[in-house]
Amino acid sequence: MDGTSLLAWLRVFVLICCLGIAARSDYASLTVRDRHWMTWSAPVTILLISEMVILETTASNFYMVAALLSISSLAVLGAPDPRDIPKWEQNQLALAVLYLIGIVGLFGGASQHANPDFVLLVLGEESPETMLWWSMIGAFITVLVYLSAWRFGLIQGGADAKALILLTVLMPSWAFLPEPLLAPEGTLFKLPPSMVMFLWASAVFLLAPPILIFQNAMRGNIESRADLKMAWHATKRPIEDIGGRPVWLLTEVIPSDDDADSRIVNRFLPGATTPTVEELAERLAELQSHGVESAWIATKHPFIVYLFFAIAPLLLIGDPMGILASMT
């Protein structure tokens, strides 16, 4: 096993550990601290620089590492304000230096590699330095896409966006990963690996509704058409079994002027915010006071969990869009 192959499998190890820990945290507490992404950015950066050293690439490609890191840092650290230069702390100065090095990588690399033979580039037959620089440019643009999608609300969770951005730095292109085990040969067009993980995670996410319907049917929770309306995205639990962790309580009491006329209804959609454990306990006590023994709840399914499950098809099959494109 040569050095680049070893680094590729080390990336897989880092990928599994980083996403596994993040998924566990997001599932248990509905949050992933920024410290997690900053901690794991260290081995990710070391792997990327080590790859450049082993490939003995040009200086502009080393500088492109700084460009990729600087654009990615916006997700966690933000950009230092040039109007406050006298007040900058050491971390802000370091970021500014990183930006300057990255700019050199962008413009210096463009002067050397901006006019490749794109047919050879797609076929993977251009010079290694040119292919590597364009791979880093692709990763740079991919990070910009994630940052923009997060800013405009297309990606709702901050942790989801930060995960995708760090994955892009970890795997700028398919050249940084082991060859997918079951992928057909001759696939020319491939989306960036982090985007492929997003696609696979979305596909896994679509499996959740039929699984929930099956579970509710097996537990006898579907007794009417109204129950079926709830069964594809929620589960019915006894009141005493709810409250261990934050969930959305969909069964609630609708008060009226006369307390005797209060109605028990099932909301189709949860509220905009997840209730605290204390708020949930109050609402459960209110339901019990009205004789309700079980309630419909919806649990948050963090997208990072689905990203973690997407590792397997990424390594086994690769890019499904690229495979489909090669078949047409």
pTM of the model: 0.84
* Encoded amino acid at 25, one letter: S
DSSP string, 261-322: G-EEEE-SS--SSPPPHHHHHHHHHHHHHTT--EEEEE----HHHHHHHTHHHHHHT--HHH
Q: What is the predicted pLDDT for the residue at 244?
A: 67
Q: In a structure prediction context, what are the per-residue pLDDT tens digits for the chain, which is 328 residues long? A: 678 899 999 999 999 999 999 999 988 877 899 999 999 999 999 999 999 999 988 898 999 999 999 999 999 988 777 777 777 888 888 888 999 999 999 998 888 887 887 777 777 777 888 899 999 999 999 999 999 999 998 887 789 999 999 999 999 999 999 988 887 776 667 889 999 999 999 998 888 889 999 999 998 888 888 888 888 888 888 888 886 667 788 888 887 666 556 788 888 777 666 677 778 888 888 888 888 888 888 877 789 999 999 999 999 999 888 777 777 6
The alpha carbon of 107 is separated from its chain's Cα centroid by a whole number of angstroms, namely 30
Q: Which residue type does 245 have?
A: R
Count of Cβ atoms closer than 10 Å to residue 293 Cβ = 9
**CB of 108 closer than 8 Å to CB of 63:** yes
Q: For residues 165 and 54, what is the distance between their CA atoms, to the nearest angstrom?
A: 24
For residue 106, what are the contacts with CB-CB under 8 A and spacing of at least 6? Answer: 63, 64, 67, 140
CA R_g for the chain: 25
The stretches of the chain forming alpha helices (DSSP H) are 3-29, 34-55, 59-73, 90-113, 118-123, 128-151, 158-170, 193-205, 208-218, 225-231, 277-289, 303-309, 311-316, 320-327
Model pLDDT for residues 102-129, shown as the tens digit of each residue: 999 999 888 888 788 777 777 777 788 8
